[in-house]
């Protein structure tokens, strides 16, 4: 019997976009450049831990804004991050 956890440790761009509940186009343009891409044969996969860390980084910045640190340099959106 094979055990597979969900979400899986590695995901395709389509699965990662679904995991983040965003379009695949948005994932490819805004999120993918910030992640390590792992080639397995002809397919490309992304580590779930990298995706989670990316979202956590966004979350921490949003928390700073909510706590009154809302200068323009601290405001960030998913569209703005291109480097992790």
Q: Write the Ramachandran bin of 10: left for phi over 0, alpha for psi from -120 to 50, otherwise beta.
A: beta
Question: Where are the chain's structural domains?
Answer: 10-74
Q: What is the pLDDT of residues 14-55, one digit of tens each?
A: 999 999 999 999 999 999 999 999 999 999 999 999 999 999
Distance CA 20, CA 42 (A): 23
Q: What pLDDT is recorded for position 5?
A: 67
Length of the chain (residues): 84
Q: In this structure, what is the dihedral angle of CA atoms 36, 26, 57, 70, given to the nearest 10 degrees?
A: 150
Cis peptide before 33 (omega within 30 of 0): no
The pTM of this model reads 0.68
User: Is residue 77 very low, low, confident or very high in pLDDT (cuts 50, 70, 90)?
Assistant: low
């Amino acid at each position: 019997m094979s055990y597979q956890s969900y979400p899986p440790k590695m995901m395709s761009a389509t699965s990662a976009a679904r995991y983040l509940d965003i379009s695949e186009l948005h994932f490819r343009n805004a999120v993918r450049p910030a992640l390590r891409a792992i080639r397995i044969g002809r397919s490309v996969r992304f580590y779930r831990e990298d995706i989670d860390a990316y979202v956590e980084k966004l979350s921490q910045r949003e928390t700073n804004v909510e706590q009154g640190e809302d200068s323009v340099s601290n405001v960030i959106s998913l569209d703005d991050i291109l480097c992790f």
